[in-house]
Each structure stands twice: as C-alpha cells, then as structure tokens.
Amino acid sequence: MNWLRISGVFLRYFYVACKGLHQLSDLFYWPLVDILIWGLASAWIQSQSHVENLPLMLMTALIFWQITWRGSVDISVSLLQEFWHRNLVNLFSTPLKISEWIAGMLLLSFCKLLITISFGAVVVYVLFALNVFTVGWAFLPFAASLIIFGWALSFLSSSLIIYWGHKVEMFAWMIAFIFAPFSAVFYPIEILPYWAQIIAWCLPTTYIFQGMRAIIATGTFPFHYFWISMGLNVIYLLISLAVFSFMFEKTRKKGLARLE
Amino acid sequence: MKKQNYLSVQNLTKIYGKKKPFVAVDEISFDLKEGEILGLLGPNGSGKTTTIQMLLGTLSHTSGTILYFGKEFPRYRSEVLQSVSFASTYTSLPYILTVRENLKCFGLYYGIRDIDTKTDPLLERFGILDKKYSPISSLSAGQITRLMLVKAFFTNPKVVLLDEPTASLDPDMSAEVCTFLLEERKRTGLSILFTSHKMEEVSEICDRVIFLKNGKIVADDLPKNLARSISSYQLRLTIVDGMKRLIALAEKQNITYKVDNRVIALFLDEKEIPNFLHAIMQQNIAYTSVQIKEPSLDDYFIKLAEKKK
C-alpha cells in the first residue's frame, strides 16, 4: 500500500466533507436532531418511571448508535459520490488500488466519527447536563467495536451498490437501521421476542449496548461481552470485505463506466 | 534503432452475457510503439470505448492479453498505470472540488506531491489557469474537457489513452489540442491511442489508424492509404450547357457520378482527370466551376458505415 495514494483518497473525501452541506448535515444536523428528540423524550419518561439513569442510558445509547450509523454510511456514500460525480472510471484508471481506496476512506471515516462523538457529547452535556463518558475508559473499546460493525455493514451495502448501481443506493442509509431493532440499542434484549433475541445475540452491537447498560447500572465492565463482540466483528468484517472484493471484480466484468 | 512496443494487444475479446452472448470486441490485436499516435476509429457501437475501458482495467476482458511495456495487464495494474493516463469527454470530476483540489488528489494517486509546477503550465496552455481555484461546477463543458487533458498529461505518462478528447471543443481549441499532442510526442516520446469522430483531426495527427467494425479490426494502415484504398478523387463541375452529353460520356467511360441540379460529381482516379477534362472540352460541354476533391478518411468512414447499413 502506498501512503501518498491513501492520502490522496483521504484528501478527496475530506474536501467534500468540508464543502458539502449534505456531509455537514450528517456530521452535525442529524445528531443534533436525534439528541434533542431523545433527550426531551427521555427526560419526560424519567419523570414518569422509576428506571434509574434512564436519560443517561438513552443518551449514551444514542451517541453509541451514531458511531455504528456513521461507520455504516461512510464507505457506501463515498462510493456513491463517485457515481454522482461521474468520476469512477477516472479514479480506477489511476494506479490507485482498491485496498488503498478503502484505507483512505476508513481513515476519514474515523476522523468524522471523532467529530460526531465530540459534538454529540458536548451537546448532551450542555443541554441535558449528562456525561456520556460515564462508562469511563470502556467508551473506547466499545466505540471501536461499534464502528467496525458499521464498516462491515457499509462494505455489504457497497457490495450491492457497486454491482447494481443507483437503483439500490438507498441501502447506503438503510442498512444500519435494518439491524437497529435487533441490536437492543435503547432497550434491554429481554424486551425482544425469543426469535429476535437469537438474531440479536449474533450481532456484535447487542453485546455493546447490553454492556453499556450494565456499566451504567452496576459500574462493572462486562469483559466477556466485549470480546464476543470483537470476535463477531472480525468475522463479519472479513466476510463483508471478501464480498465487496468479489462484487468489485464481478462489476469489472460489466464495466465501471456503466455505473456513471 | 527499433522502437519498443509500449502497448501490445493480442486477441483481445470481450463477450457480454452468457445466455445471449454479445461479442463487443472480437479477437483484436495491435501494437502501440514508442512515440506513435494511433487512431482507433469506427462507427458507434464498433467497440472503441470498450477497448479503451479494457486497456484501463475498468472493464475486464474475456480473453486475450494486454501487455504494457512488456508487463502483463491487469496483473501489474498499479505499477503499469503509473505510466498510463486517460482523458475522455464522457467522464467528469467531483464538481464541489476546485480544479486545483482535483488535480492535487490525482497527483497523489500518481505519487506526485508538488503539483503546481507541473499543472500550471498546462492549465495556462489550455487557457484555464484563471480557473485554478474555481469549483468544477463553474466550468463549461469545454473547460472540463481541457482540464481532463491537463489531468492526463501532468503525470508524465508514457502512454495516453484519449477517448474523443476534442468532442466538446471549439475548432480553434481542437486545433490547439492537436498541436499540443504533436509537441508532447516530440518532446517526451510518449505514445497516444486516440479515438475521435473528427476524421480531419485523425488524418492530421495519427501515424496509423485502426478501423473497428462490429468489434473486429477491418483496417490497419496509414490514414492516407486508407482513404485512397476505397475512394476515388471527386471531380465536381457546375454545368452551364451539355449535362446530357456529360452523363453519356461518364457512362461510356464507366465513371460513377451523382447529379444535383446543375452540379455533377464524378468519381474517378487521379490519373484519369486530365484526359476526362480534355474529353469534356472536345464535346463542347460548358461549365462555370471545377473542383477536385482528394479522397479523405471521412470518405472511408462513410463507406464503412454504409456497408453496415
């Protein structure tokens, strides 16, 4: 892998991120809207219930969910940008390797994630006087696990997009929400019906959200949850990368130009 | 000294689909030598763009081999593409980014850090230096086409693939681009594979021309030879008196003709023209103007398209 080419990819999407209103709304506007709605709703629910630390649990869950969602859209939307700008053939007729393109995008995705988390945490603290870093140092491994799953989802939606093009572009934004109900983001897994719980325990995100609630409730970090989550992540990420590489080569047989 | 092949294509084939296979490119073979400008021509759907896409690796080929500088493509894709570049009227660039930002990114893909010293002379040459800090969205189609050429040439390529690079340009800028291509070839010894529908341009700059039809190479020769191979000279006369006698004379000598009102176009060999004009004089046929048109690549192209019909 060539560092200069990776930095070229990083720069290409960084310029867009700094200029596009659409990109800026992803970074700031939608997280803010979510925080306001969920913050106010959780404050009201807390006043009506006896669940301890409910607003903190919901707001931390919300910030955590932003991490997965952020990761799940970054790669696929970057790919779509190349379609929209009719730049796909230009891009892949250079010495750039697909692995370098991925590395550059993941690097930028990570930077955007830091911005979203920082912004969200500050807004939650200012508006609702809640500190989402209450989970302490566990925040970092949890966040790492969540973004890896987001990336795995993004590679899956990108696999569909690189082959079927514009007609499946909605998967870029949809894919994370397909898994959200099973991930027990805002509620304990026990709420789900049995069949849904089986699916839920197959998702790395479920372990993180269960773990997050455990820390807030008991102050204990559930190591086993974290390791299971990471193990599943490695499997899903490798599978999604393999699927993406396969679909990318498959689409070369039809030609990248047809996607522009 | 024998010039090396920068690009060597052997039996290159592209077949789309399995149930109803469509052969877009059918076992074509050709070489592109160091310093050569090769025209790739043919009617719409003949396989030109498909061939270029395969040579760029953005479309995989069904069979055959592509060698750049003796190295197998796409096996050594990244290494090979370091010395190959591409420009087309049919692609664009991220429109939110400025000209410089786009070139900066492309420079990094080719391992170039300092782009300004390389891009500024080219931007100036193509008359868009003042647009350097403007977003692509503010550029006209012609300016984007010129920017594509800057993108293709600032990376010091050895082989440049140009897919109709002058399609959206004014005649003066098209001429400037052709001059530039010839100068760059002389200065750096690069090779160019060039597709265009402007036959005059192709005749002017290409050393050799390949004609594709239905995915197959139907001709591979010098532009001049191709034009002469199928078409006679055209003798156009505006007749004042004696059209019937002239037609009879043409038919007697087996000369093909077309009549349009008072104008007759006769198709005959260059050597036959003086004798035919002499015969016209002897028949007392009166004409007001005479025009002799050399066969061109245009004629060859039209003939090829007619055969298709």
The string of pLDDT tens digits covering residues B71-99 is 999 889 999 999 999 998 888 899 899 99
Task: Indicate if B222 and B240 belong to the same structural domain.
Answer: no
Give the residue-averaged pLDDT of A126-144: 79
Task: Indicate if B161 and B268 belong to the same structural domain.
Answer: no
Task: Indicate if B242 and B140 belong to the same structural domain.
Answer: no
Task: Indicate whether B141 belongs to any domain.
Answer: yes
Q: Domain boundaries in chain A?
A: 3-259
Please enumerate in sequence order all residues whose Cβ is within 8 A of that of B169, keeping only pairs 6 or more positions apart, or say none.
Answer: B142, B145, B146, B177
- Can you give the pLDDT at residue B30? 95
- Can you give the pLDDT at residue A196? 94
Amino acid residing at A198? I
- Can you give the pLDDT at residue B284? 86
Give the residue-averaged pLDDT of A169-181: 90
Pick from B228, B252, B269: which residue ends a domain? Answer: B228
Pick from B183, B205, B228: which residue ends a domain? Answer: B228
The three-state secondary structure class of B186 is helix
- Can you give the pLDDT at residue B56? 94
- Can you give the pLDDT at residue B307? 60
- Residue of chain B nearest A11, judged by CA positions: B105
Which position has the token pair 């398209």? Answer: B305
Chain B hits for A254, Cβ within 8 Å: 16, 59
Least confident of A95-99, A182-186, B272-276, B305-309: B305-309
Dist. CA B105–CA A9, nearest whole Å: 7
| Tally of structural domains, chain B | 2
Restricting to A residues 48-107, those with a Cβ less than 8 Å away from any Cβ of B are 81, 85-97
Strands B22-33 and B5-16: antiparallel
Task: Indicate whether B309 belongs to any domain.
Answer: no
The pTM of the full predicted model, rounded to 2 decimals, is 0.83
Task: Indicate whether B194 belongs to any domain.
Answer: yes
The boundaries of the domain holding residue B245 are: 232-295
Mutate to test the interface with A, among B77, B91, B101 (most CBs of A within 10 A): B91
The count of other CB atoms within 10 Å of the CB of residue B140 is: 11
Task: Indicate if B134 and B112 belong to the same structural domain.
Answer: yes
Tell me the CATH number at B255: 3.30.70.120
Phi and psi dihedrals of B96, rounded to 5? -75, -30
Per the DSSP assignment, residues forming a β-bridge with B71 are B68
Task: Indicate if B247 and B122 belong to the same structural domain.
Answer: no
Task: Indicate if B166 and B284 belong to the same structural domain.
Answer: no
Task: Indicate if B81 and B216 belong to the same structural domain.
Answer: yes
Which tokens sit at B98? 């400025």
- Can you give the pLDDT at residue A114? 86
- Can you give the pLDDT at residue B309? 46
ipTM of this model? 0.85
B interface toward A at CB cutoff 8 Å? Answer: 16, 49-50, 53, 56-60, 77-79, 81-82, 84-86, 88, 90-97, 101, 104-111, 113, 151
Task: Indicate whether B40 belongs to any domain.
Answer: yes
Dist. CA A211–CA A215, nearest whole Å: 6
Tell me the CATH number at B16: 3.40.50.300
Pick from B228, B249, B274: which residue ends a domain? Answer: B228
Facing B104 at nearest CB: one of A11, A19, A257: A11
Task: Indicate if B185 and B118 belong to the same structural domain.
Answer: yes
Task: Indicate if B285 and B211 belong to the same structural domain.
Answer: no
Question: What does the pLDDT look like over A193-223, one tens digit per residue?
Answer: 999 999 999 999 999 999 888 888 887 878 8
Per-residue confidence band for B305, with pLDDT thresholds at 50, 70 and 90 = low
Which tokens sit at A203? 């998702």
Question: What does the pLDDT look like over B163-185, one tens digit per residue?
Answer: 988 887 888 888 888 999 999 99
Give the residue-averaged pLDDT of B264-282: 87
